Amino acid sequence: MNKRNDIRNVAIIAHVDHGKTTLVDALLRQSGIFRENQQVQERVMDSNDLERERGITILSKNTAIEYKDTKINIVDTPGHADFGGEVERVLKMVNGVILVVDAFEGPMPQTKFVLKKALELSLPVLVCVNKVDRPEARPVEVVDEVLELLLELDDSERYLDSPFIFASAIGGWASSDVSVKKDTMEDMYEAILEHIPAPEGDLDGPVQLLVTTIDYNEYVGRIGVGKVERGTVRVNQDLMLLNFLDDTKKQKVRIGKLYEYSGLQRVEVQEAKMGSIIALSGIEDIHIGDTLTDPEVQEAVEFVTISEPTIA
């Protein structure tokens, strides 16, 4: 087993309007990843039309922040319901979650569904109590409410030591101490590095990658998104694509272009190792839930649906 200390993969869970987009904007902005000509006001995670229409997050979107030579991949999660196991697949890419909770409203039902799945996977939870600048904010009570919720969802008490960060995403600051205001998001980055474990796996083994999301781009066609579970993927590499629904269905494929995430963009890379969240093009018949493997060692990524898909 190897560890990628230069990476953190984390999913963000939040009730609508609790400030997920604003928080990611602030983390991006302060990581200095934006050049002057890049527009941040184009909301980070709301780029999908359908999503905008319904005011909820449907497709998972990835963002990557660089902090102290570490790439923090932030993966969005569907907010309110599970579209055929998507939540589990998204959570399978990460080693922890950030739970964003409004400092006035406290935890809301929409966050419970995804949080429950994260706890079922034993993922560490970093709680971000956001909007502490609101005059009516009651962060201390909200901490208790979140702890109660964690206990309700997992009665083992192991989540009662979960770390808390108090933030004003809109003000661009976060503090590990509820009574201390800060000037930057530094405490938040540090908490991510400290409390979200680095991805672990076999760097040298045969390639294995679970396709978590599908995207489309008019220039390169279908794009598969996922985390490299094992080994190293490379441009032009010959791989076997194992169909998720029909395990007799498989085909030889070749990666066309390979991308990692940087800020809000995908950047082309020649190879990506275990632990990296990547996007790849050149495979037209790629579907959510499929596994890409070494042709010599064809093992599908174990993927168990934790509970039946439900629409809240």
Binding site for GTP: which residues? Answer: 17-22, 130-133
If one asks whether residue 19 binds ligand GDP (CB under 6 A), the answer comes out as yes
Instruction: In angstroms, give the least distance from the CB of 128 to ligand GDP.
Output: 10
By CB under 6 A, the residues from 36 to 95 that bind ligand GDP are none
> Which residue, 9 or 168, has its beta carbon nearer to ligand GDP?
168
Q: Evaluate the CA torsion angle 299, 213, 93, 283 in order and state its sign.
A: positive
Q: Determine contact, residues 308/249, Cβ cutoff 8 Å.
A: no
CA dihedral 148, 157, 181, 194 (to 10 degrees): -140
Instruction: In angstroms, give the least distance from the CB of 62 to ligand GDP.
Output: 15
Instruction: In angstroms, give the least distance from the CB of 108 to ligand GDP.
Output: 11
User: In Å, how far from its chain's centre is CA 268?
Assistant: 20
What span, in angstroms and rounded, lies between the C-alpha atoms of 121 and 8? 17
> Which residue, 180 or 245, has its beta carbon nearer to ligand GDP?
180
By CB under 6 A, the residues from 113 to 172 that bind ligand GDP are 130-131, 133-134, 168-170
Structure tokens at 217: 């781009």
Interface with ligand GDP (CB under 6 A), residue from 11, 13, 22, 166: 22
> Which residue, 77 or 208, has its beta carbon nearer to ligand GDP?
77
Helix (H, G, I), strand (E, B) or coil at 97: strand
Residue 61's closest CA among 98, 90, 84? Answer: 90
State the angle between helix axes of 139-153 and 109-120 in degrees (0 to 180), rounded to the nearest 10.
Answer: 50
Number of residues forming the site for ligand GDP (CB under 6 A): 15
Instruction: In angstroms, give the least distance from the CB of 167 to ligand GDP.
Output: 6
Contacts with ligand GDP by CB under 6 A lie at 14, 16-22, 130-131, 133-134, 168-170
